């Protein structure tokens, strides 16, 4: 459930008409609903507790939406953070998320990032390789610390999602193969700089089917037994994120309740602190990208091009993953037509939809791309020397600009011509 709906003919976010935000902040602009974020955070947590999972540790995967205000909202719901870079760690801390509730994931943590995380006292490192574990242990020892850590396992299952966001197959760069895990775990557990306390996995994102997860959890259950039999004390298991959301009619993502029930079933004998790293399911449907139609241009045949002021640099998912984002007029007339929706960037990849039936729009109309709250603004670039889109948070009948528009002039001002060219 979200809080984006037509009231008196105009799309609102909670009690705020998008026409007002577009008028005052301009377009394109990302708009988030605080009530939706809170609701999703609560529904996810309740799904776990209802299923009997006691005191789950939930770390929001910041990569999905790192906006400081969004993090602040989720911190208010007791969420920790899953970070994958020094920059994300900084944001989590700036949002007031306690260091102990931060999990440091990511396949290429460098020494500077790990040292900063150790000094900040973050709660857990999810180690991706023996080499990384040794580097972390050495850094921790130098600092006179012992890092709480788990080993990320690659369970070799097909998450049945887009290949670019699958992370749990043997050929993917993530984690350590199951058969190698006991030996590597043993060697890392022997290092004085590490307190090895369990394992982690994350098999992919936008999962619309729970089976691959359940299969993976089954393999982890067996691994836990093997590690315990080898004398290790396993107290923490991080089950990652991955729960999909509805982008398109016909998408039927598992309800968090079904996910919770499956997790409870798969982990019932584990006797560990379970940890979670949801991203998209919390924020995906809590945001839209508001855009303005620049003009409508006839196409070949009868299908016109609707050229909007948002482009692939602002919302990269369609160009990167052939992703679908619903497109709706902010003030729909009831008329519909079939069109190609494209941005102004100079490549054919800058296409949001081809031959799609949508609300009839004309030059100057406002429209939204839905489900843009996850992996939207954060994946923006300045390609074609376009600026960075601002972000707005709505709560009831108020809104605030929570990330300013970065104008092309600001970006240009950070570039320098060397004196030999002056
Ligand atoms: N934990 C780890 C270790 C991850 O790599 C990810 C996402 C998550 C948690 C959160 O997954 P979620 O619950 O959001 O599915 N840019 C792509 C998605 C990339 C996901 C990367 N990892 C997209 O726009 O679809």
* Position in ligand 1 atom list of the atom nearest CA 244: 15
Distance from C-alpha of 214 to C-alpha of 172, rounded to nearest angstrom: 19
For atom 22 of ligand 1, which residue has the closest CA? 205
Cα(249) to centroid(ligand 1), Å? 22
pLDDT of residue 163: 86
Query: Which residue owns the Cα nearest ligand 1 atom 19?
Result: 165
Q: Is 402 helix (H, G, I), strand (E, B) or coil?
A: strand
Number of C-beta neighbours around residue 78 at 10 A: 13
Q: Which of the residues in the chain have pLDDT under 70?
A: 1
CA atoms of 372 and 287, how far apart (whole Å): 5
195-253 pLDDT tens trace: 999 999 999 999 999 999 999 999 999 999 999 999 999 999 999 999 999 999 999 99
What the block records as the tokens of 156 is 């070799």
Strand 57-61, strand 194-200: pairing: unpaired
Mutate to test the pocket of ligand 1, among 59, 277, 281 (most ligand atoms within 8 A of CB): 277
Question: What is d(CA 422, CA 409) in angstroms, rounded to the nearest whole number?
Answer: 19
CB 403 within 8 A of CB 67: yes
Alpha helices of 190-234 — where are they, by DSSP H? 211-229
Contact 151, 127 (CB under 8 A): yes
pLDDT at 264: 98
| Continuous segment of H or E residues that includes residue 94 | helix 86-94
The answer to whether residues 284 and 246 touch, using CB atoms and an 8 Å cutoff, is: no
Strands 10-13 and 16-17: antiparallel
Contact 325, 290 (CB under 8 A): no
Reported as a single tens digit per residue, the pLDDT across 248-277 is 999 999 999 999 999 999 999 999 999 999
* List of residues 6+ apart from 198 with CB closer than 8 A: 150, 151, 234, 235, 236, 237, 238, 272
The position carrying tokens 């390609």 is 383
Q: Strand 366-369 vs strand 124-127: parallel, antiparallel, or unpaired?
A: unpaired
pLDDT of residue 165: 85
Give the residue, by CA position, lying nearest to ligand 1 atom 24. 375
For residue 230, report the distance from its CA to the centre of ligand 1, in Å: 32
Residues tagged active-site: 346
The residues spanned by each domain of the chain are 4-32+284-413, 34-280
**Angle (nearest 5°) at CA 389 between 295 and 20:** 70
Q: What pTM does this model have?
A: 0.97
Ligand 1, atom nearest to 242 Cα = 15
Q: Which CATH class is domain 34-280?
A: alpha beta
Q: Check if 4-32+284-413 and 34-280 are the same fold.
A: no
SS3 152: strand
| Centroid of chain to Cα 368 | 20
Output the pLDDT for position 169.
Answer: 87
Residues 6+ apart with CB under 8 A from 156: 168, 169, 170, 177, 178
Tell me how far the alpha carbon of residue 229 lies from the centroid of ligand 1, in angstroms: 32
Distance 284 CA to ligand 1 centre (A): 11
CATH superfamily entry for domain 4-32+284-413: Lyase, Ornithine Decarboxylase; Chain A, domain 1 (2.40.37.10)
Q: Who lines ligand 1 at CB under 6 A?
A: 61, 63-64, 82, 105, 165, 167, 202, 205-206, 240-243, 277-281, 317, 321, 375
Residue nearest to atom 9 of ligand 1 (CA): 241
User: CA distances (Å), 74 to each of 37, 78, 294, 366, 406, in order?
Assistant: 7, 7, 36, 29, 25
SS3 label, residue 150 = strand
Distance 242 CA to ligand 1 centre (A): 6
Percent of the chain with pLDDT over 90: 95
* Pairwise CA distance, residues 342 & 351, whole Å: 4
């Amino acid at each position: 459930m979200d809080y984006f709906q037509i009231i008196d003919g105009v799309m609102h976010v909670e009690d705020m008409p998008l026409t007002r935000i577009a008028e005052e902040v301009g377009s394109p602009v990302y708009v988030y609903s605080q009530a939706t974020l809170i609701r999703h955070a609560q529904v996810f947590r309740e799904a776990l507790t209802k299923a009997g999972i006691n005191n789950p540790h939930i770390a929001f995967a910041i990569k999905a939406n790192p906006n400081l205000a969004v993090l602040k909202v989720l911190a208010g719901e007791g969420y920790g953070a899953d970070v994958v870079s020094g920059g994300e760690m900084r944001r989590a801390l700036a949002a007031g998320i306690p260091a102990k509730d931060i999990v440091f994931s990511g396949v290429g943590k460098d020494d500077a990032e790990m040292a900063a995380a150790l000094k900040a006292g973050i709660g857990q490192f999810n180690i991706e390789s023996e080499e990384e574990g040794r580097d972390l242990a050495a850094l921790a020892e130098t600092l006179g610390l012992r890092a709480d850590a788990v080993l990320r396992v690659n369970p070799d299952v097909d998450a049945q999602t887009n290949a670019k966001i699958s992370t749990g197959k043997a050929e993917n760069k993530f984690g350590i193969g199951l058969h190698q895990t006991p030996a590597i775990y043993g060697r890392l557990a022997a290092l004085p700089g590490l307190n090895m306390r369990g394992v982690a996995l994350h098999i992919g994102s936008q999962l619309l089917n729970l089976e691959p997860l359940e299969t993976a959890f089954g393999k982890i259950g067996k691994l836990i037994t093997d590690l315990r039999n080898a004398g290790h004390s396993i107290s923490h298991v991080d089950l990652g994120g991955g729960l999909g959301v509805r982008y398109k009619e016909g998408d039927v993502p598992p309800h968090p309740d079904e996910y919770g029930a499956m997790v409870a079933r798969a982990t019932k004998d584990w006797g560990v602190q379970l940890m979670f790293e949801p991203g998209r399911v919390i924020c995906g449907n809590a945001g839209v990208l508001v855009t303005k139609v620049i003009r409508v241009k006839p196409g070949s045949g009868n299908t016109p091009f609707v050229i909007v002021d948002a482009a692939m640099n602002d919302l990269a998912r369609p160009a990167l993953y052939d992703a679908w984002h619903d497109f709706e007029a902010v003030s729909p007339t009831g008329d519909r037509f079939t069109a190609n929706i494209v941005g102004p960037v100079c490549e054919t990849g800058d296409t949001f939809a081809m031959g799609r039936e949508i609300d009839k729009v004309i030059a100057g109309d406002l429209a939204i791309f839905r489900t843009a709250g996850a992996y939207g603004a954060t994946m923006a670039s300045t390609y074609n020397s376009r600026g960075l889109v601002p972000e707005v948070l709505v709560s009831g009948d108020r809104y605030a600009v929570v990330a300013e528009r970065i104008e092309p002039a600001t970006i240009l001002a950070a570039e320098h011509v060397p004196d030999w060219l002056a």
